[in-house]
């Protein structure tokens, strides 16, 4: 059977284990020899015990666990040809010519580069007598199938990345928790949610916060930041937020409905919570930090104001049902893609399109993702939306 190796790379996300499990079991079911590579590319470069054959039971009892049981790492060595040469040798030694990479766009870019370089890496291994001519011929094609594991939903081509749904659940739980304490006091709470460079990618999540927590959202589509709030519509803090928003990029305007929700007003809403996406910037490209927002609120309202930074709490914990199912489906599809690959088949990324698992050209998606990030950095918001497409 074919030799397949699965590894997780870059930031971890809930649901990666479900994907690893599916790859192992689907691979074994189809008669392949399946390997784990531990600690991402570092394990591939270092070899030894980092590359281990998996069996049916080695993925038992992992589907409900957060993070990745086979470890993930950033690996400087793999960025250099010398590191990739070592990795190639380790794979050939074990008869592995199929890789399933679960990671972000960096990890997928590395995999694609590795695939492009593969013939020349094998030539070098042959000329330095590290592999035989027979091995050179037998293992001449490397096939790659990728999946995106990230809580940021930051990849073009897929409607959802593995981990986003779980992170949303975590954020919602945290918001609910803050809401109950905020109800009890005349305080303003500012919550910072993760999403580093990717307010844009977080925005589909923002729509979800809005629906699932009843928050109001300024510009639920694309922005380098998201500010959500829930407070009395007559509350003076609204003016503060309003003026804050006026200093923000052009594409962002307050939702007209926000100020005209009379039902909520007459109900005497006393919540005063502002959610700021990490990575928010203003019109001049200056960061809008939770601290800055706090200062605006304190200066204008003289109100006791507290900041909660969710940080890695959003990334941890057990995966949601959705992410478990997504990981399983993507993992099985990735193995199918490798089974059906011909020497001409390009590296693919397994994606969710509506309710369908689809295979898309890996590099096209990576390039589009990078182009979106660049458009955002250049403050070309409309271009970013266009490039991003519906997902
Ligand atoms: P993510 O996959 O989450 O985007 P990184 O960008 O940190 O995370 O990438 C994870 C790892 O993938 C890096 O530590 C490196 O080993 C490898 N990698 C990323 N980009 C490249 C590249 N251009 N060439 C080779 N390897 C890369």
Give yes or no for residue 171 CB within 6 A of ligand 1. Answer: no
pLDDT of amino acid 12? 93
Instruction: Give 191's pLDDT tier (boundaries 50, 70, 90).
Output: confident
Known binding residue 261? Answer is no
Instruction: Give 200's pLDDT tier (boundaries 50, 70, 90).
Output: very low
Known binding residue 278? Answer is yes
pLDDT of amino acid 298? 78
pLDDT > 70? residue 196? no
What are the pLDDT digits (tens) for 231-259? 444 545 555 555 555 544 333 333 333 33
pLDDT > 70? residue 220? no
Mean pLDDT of 279-288: 59
Known binding residue 163? Answer is no
Lowest mean pLDDT among 28-32, 90-94, 280-284: 280-284
% pLDDT > 70, the chain: 73
Atom 15 of ligand 1 has which residue's CA nearest to it?
A: 75
pLDDT of amino acid 18? 98
What are the pLDDT digits (tens) for 324-360? 999 999 999 999 999 999 999 999 999 999 899 999 9
Instruction: Give 173's pLDDT tier (boundaries 50, 70, 90).
Output: confident
Mean pLDDT of 209-238: 46
Choice between 174 and 208, residue whose per-residue pLDDT is larger:
174
pLDDT of amino acid 16? 98
Active site residues: 152
Q: Flag whether the ipTM exceeds 0.90.
A: yes
Give yes or no for residue 10 CB within 6 A of ligand 1. Answer: yes
Reported pTM: 0.85
pLDDT of amino acid 188? 76
Query: How far, in Å, from the CA of 106 to the mean position of ligand 1?
Result: 4
pLDDT of amino acid 152? 77
Mean pLDDT of 203-219: 48
Known binding residue 195? Answer is yes
Choice between 59 and 212, residue whose per-residue pLDDT is larger:
59
Q: What is the 3-state secondary structure (H, E, C) of the chain?
A: CCEEEEEECCCCCCCHHHHHHHHHHHHHHCCCEEEEECCHHHHHHHCHHHEEECCHHHHCCCCCCCCCCCCCCCCCHHHCHHHHHHHHHHHHHCCCCEEEEEECHHHHHHHHHHHHHHHHHHHHHHHCCCCCHHHHHHCCCCEEEEEEECCCCCCCCCCCCECHHHHHHHHHHHHHHHHHHHHHCCCEEEEEECCCCCHHHHHHHHHHHHHHHCCEECCCCCCCCCEEEEECCCCCHHHHHHHHHHCCCCCCCCCHHHHHCHHHHHCCCCCEEEEEECCCECCCCCECCHHHHHHHHHHHHCCCEEEEECHHHHCCCCCCHHHHHHHHHHHHHHHHHHHHCCCCCCCEEEEEECCEEEEEEHHHHHHHHHHHHHHHHCCCHHHHHHHHCCC
Instruction: Give 230's pLDDT tier (boundaries 50, 70, 90).
Output: very low
Known binding residue 106? Answer is yes
% pLDDT > 90, the chain: 50
Known binding residue 313? Answer is yes
pLDDT of amino acid 285? 58
Choice between 114 and 171, residue whose per-residue pLDDT is larger:
114
Mean pLDDT of 106-127: 96
Give yes or no for residue 163 CB within 6 A of ligand 1. Answer: no
Mutate which of 8, 10, 102 for ligand 1? The one with the most ligand atoms within 8 Å of its CB, which is 10
Instruction: Give 369's pLDDT tier (boundaries 50, 70, 90).
Output: confident
pLDDT of amino acid 213? 53
Give yes or no for residue 12 CB within 6 A of ligand 1. Answer: no
Give yes or no for residue 79 CB within 6 A of ligand 1. Answer: yes
Mean pLDDT of 200-226: 44
Averaged pLDDT score across all residues of the chain: 80
Question: Are 153 and 205 in contact, with CB atoms under 8 Å apart?
Answer: yes
Atom 27 of ligand 1 has which residue's CA nearest to it?
A: 110
Mean pLDDT of 266-283: 58
What are the pLDDT digits (tens) for 289-321? 788 778 877 776 667 888 998 888 888 899 999
Query: How far, in Å, from the CA of 13 to the mean position of ligand 1?
Result: 16
Atom 9 of ligand 1 has which residue's CA nearest to it?
A: 106
Mutate which of 106, 156, 365, 369 for ligand 1? The one with the most ligand atoms within 8 Å of its CB, which is 106
Query: How far, in Å, from the CA of 74 to the mean position of ligand 1?
Result: 7
Atom 16 of ligand 1 has which residue's CA nearest to it?
A: 75
Give yes or no for residue 113 CB within 6 A of ligand 1. Answer: yes
Give yes or no for residue 157 CB within 6 A of ligand 1. Answer: no
Give yes or no for residue 110 CB within 6 A of ligand 1. Answer: yes
Mutate which of 71, 72, 78 for ligand 1? The one with the most ligand atoms within 8 Å of its CB, which is 78
């Amino acid at each position: 059977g074919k030799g397949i190796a699965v590894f997780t790379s870059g930031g971890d996300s809930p649901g990666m284990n479900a994907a690893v499990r599916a790859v192992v079991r689907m691979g074994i079911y189809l008669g392949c020899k399946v390997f784990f590579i531990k600690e991402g590319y570092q394990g591939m470069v270092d070899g030894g015990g980092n590359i281990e054959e998996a069996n049916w039971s080695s993925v038992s009892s992992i589907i409900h666990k957060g993070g990745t049981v086979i470890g993930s790492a950033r690996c400087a060595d793999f960025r250099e040809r010398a590191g990739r040469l070592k990795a190639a040798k380790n794979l050939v030694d074990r008869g592995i010519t199929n890789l399933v990479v679960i990671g972000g766009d960096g990890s997928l870019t590395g995999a694609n580069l590795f695939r492009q370089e593969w013939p020349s890496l094998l030539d070098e291994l042959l000329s330095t007598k590290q592999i035989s001519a027979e091995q050179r011929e037998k293992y001449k094609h490397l096939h790659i199938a990728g999946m995106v594991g990230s809580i940021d939903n930051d990849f073009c081509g897929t409607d959802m990345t593995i981990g986003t749904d779980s992170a949303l659940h975590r954020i919602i739980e945290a918001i609910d928790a803050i809401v109950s304490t905020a109800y009890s006091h005349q305080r303003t709470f500012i919550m910072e949610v993760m999403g580093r460079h990717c307010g844009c990618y977080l925005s589909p999540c923002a729509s979800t916060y809005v629906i699932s927590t009843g928050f109001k959202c300024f510009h639920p589509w694309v922005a380098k930041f998201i500010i959500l709030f829930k407070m009395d519509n007559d509350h003076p803090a609204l003016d503060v937020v309003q003026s804050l928003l006026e200093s923000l990029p052009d594409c962002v305007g307050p939702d007209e409905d926000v100020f005209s929700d009379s039902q909520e007003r007459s109900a005497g809403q006393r919540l005063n919570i502002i959610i700021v996406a990490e990575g928010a910037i203003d019109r001049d490209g200056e960061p809008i930090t939770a601290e800055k927002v706090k200062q605006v609120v304190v200066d204008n309202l003289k109100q006791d104001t507290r900041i909660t930074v969710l940080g890695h709490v959003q990334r941890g914990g057990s995966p949601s049902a959705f992410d478990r199912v997504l990981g399983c489906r993507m993992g099985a599809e990735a193995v199918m893609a490798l089974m059906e690959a011909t020497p001409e088949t390009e590296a693919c990324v397994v994606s969710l399109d509506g309710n369908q698992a689809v295979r898309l050209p890996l590099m096209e998606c990576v390039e589009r993702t990078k182009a979106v990030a660049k458009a955002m950095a250049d403050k070309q918001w409309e271009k970013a939306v266009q490039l991003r497409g519906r997902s």
